[in-house]
Every structure is written in structure tokens, then in C-alpha cells.
Amino acid sequence: MSAPLLFDSHLHLTAERFDEDREEVLTRARTAGVQEMVTIASNPDDAVAAIALARREVGVWATAGLHPHDAERVSDETLLKIESLAASPEVVALGETGLDYHYDHAPRDLQLENFRRHLELAERLSLPIVVHSRSAEADTVRLIAERAERVTGVLHCFAGGERLLQTALDLNWFVSFSGLVTFVDELTGPARRVPDDRLLIETDAPYLSPAPKRGRRNEPEFLTHTCARIAELRGVAVEELAATTRANARSFYQLDHPR
């Protein structure tokens, strides 16, 4: 029996760690059933590379945005560049953006400005937004709630608490789980609670390899392990979970109704 079709809703195919074998990585992914994926940009230069990759590869799309780690680069010029890149047909969302108070690689005031401006741009362009939130739950909740009726987003690589999860559910946002769910017990409850039509799965490759691949570079092929774990937690067949999350990813990224 052939592998179920899977959609990796968040990974970084432009990362340097894929430079030597990117084509082989994609071949392994497709063989495992991961036929569709969105390569996420961290800054405008990365978005240019992601768009170029998406143009070459069937079943690959891109985003445009500025990661909170790079928020010191936020400016009118940077946002205009992101807006220009977002006009590319390969771009299906803004981001990743958001807040990271764990590492604090950029000042928090600039992270907040960057996130707020991405939310404003997402509303204006009618694009979904990909949100990174780490150790910044209160501010993330506040900012996404301000745009609740006008912006659709996903909390990628969810590892937050009850307040953030409930806010996402109340706002009908999507929640995405990475390989963390295969070895972090605290994610068991959230992975069971997210409604069927709001659930996404991702690798965040080359980061966060799932069990039993921990310690290795993550690849989109390994999405099969995350899918299997969430299917087990939710008491459904792997094929059903794969079909549900693939349909959700296509809906979130507006692939069935392109701009």
C-alpha cells in the first residue's frame, strides 16, 4: 500500500544545512508521501531564495517575512520589500514573524513593532500569517486578539500554555505541532484538543527532529513520525490524520482558491 499523502506546513528548505543534498532530501520526502510543503522565510533575502526554490519544485510554496530573531531589521524599507515579495504567486503567507522572549536576540520593543506591522500587512493583503511565539504568551495573545476578526493565522510549532492555546481556538486560528509532540509530554493534551479542522503538522526542518530521529538533522521525510504520534494520541488512523492535516494546510494557505 502506498504511503498516505502528507503536507509539511512549515520547514526551512533554504537552510544551509540542506545545501549539499537538497534534491535528495526532497526525493526522500516525496517517497515517504510528503508531496506538499511550505518553505518558510526568516527575512527578505531568505524569502527570495524560498520563492526561487518554489518556482523550481512542484508542490513547494514559500512565505515572506521577518523572524523575531531578526527584528532589529524592521523598517519601512524592510516591510516594503516583504510586501513586494508577497505579491509573488509562490508566496502563500506572511512570516514567520512573532515574538521570542526566550532567546531575546532582538529587543522586545522591536519584536513587538515587527509583529504588529506584519499583522497589519496580513490584513491589508488578505494573507494568512505564520506566528512564532516562545516565552511571550501574554503579548502574543494581546496582539493576535487585536486582529481577531481580520487576520487568519497559525501558531507554528506549538509549545505554549493553556491561555495561548485557548485564545487560538477561540479565534479559529490554526495550531501546528512539530516533532516536539513525539517527546514532550506536556503537548499530549493540546494535540488532542485542537479541533480536526484547525490542526496542522510540520517538521520545522532542519530543526526539532522527532523521536526516533532525535540528534539528527530533521528532514521533511520525518513528518511521518509526527503524523503517527498525533494519530495515536487522537485515536484515529494515520491515513485519516494525514488527509485531515493536508486538507487543512491547503485551506490555510488558500491553495485551492489562489489569489
Do residues 175 and 226 touch, judged by C-beta distance below 8 A? no
pLDDT tens readout for residues 86-112: 999 999 999 999 999 999 999 999 999
Q: What SS3 class is residue 154?
A: strand
C-alpha 19: how far from chain center? 21
**pLDDT band (50, 70, 90) for residue 48:** very high
Question: To the nearest whole percent, how much of the chain has pLDDT over 70?
Answer: 99
pLDDT surpasses 80 at 163: yes
The CATH H-level (homologous superfamily) assignment of domain 6-252 is Metal-dependent hydrolases (3.20.20.140)
Do residues 40 and 16 touch, judged by C-beta distance below 8 A? no
pLDDT at 204: 98
**pLDDT band (50, 70, 90) for residue 148:** confident
pTM: 0.97
pLDDT at 149: 84
Please give the average per-residue pLDDT across 230-244, as a whole number.
98
**pLDDT band (50, 70, 90) for residue 258:** low
Residue 247 neighbours by CB under 8 Å, 6+ apart: none
Rg (CA), the chain: 17
- Higher-pLDDT residue of 149 and 69 is 69
Please give the average per-residue pLDDT across 237-245, as a whole number.
98
Nearest Cα to 130, choosing from 81, 91, 182?
Answer: 91
Q: What SS3 class is residue 8?
A: strand
Helices 223-234 & 238-252 angle (0-180, nearest 10): 110
First to last CA, the chain: 36
Q: How many CB atoms neighbour CB 15 within 10 A?
A: 18
Nearest Cα to 94, choosing from 110, 80, 83?
Answer: 83
**pLDDT band (50, 70, 90) for residue 257:** confident
Report residue 127 as a C-alpha cell.
494573507
Q: What SS3 class is residue 2?
A: coil
pLDDT tens readout for residues 192-201: 999 999 999 9
Report residue 9 as a C-alpha cell.
506546513
pLDDT surpasses 80 at 44: yes
For the chain, give the mean pLDDT: 97
pLDDT at 259: 61
Nearest Cα to 198, choosing from 228, 171, 178?
Answer: 171
How many distinct helices (H) and strands (E) make up the chain? 9, 8
Q: Where are the domains of the chain?
A: 6-252
Please give the average per-residue pLDDT across 222-249, as a whole number.
98
Rounded to whole angstroms, the Cα distance separating 232 from 155 reads: 22
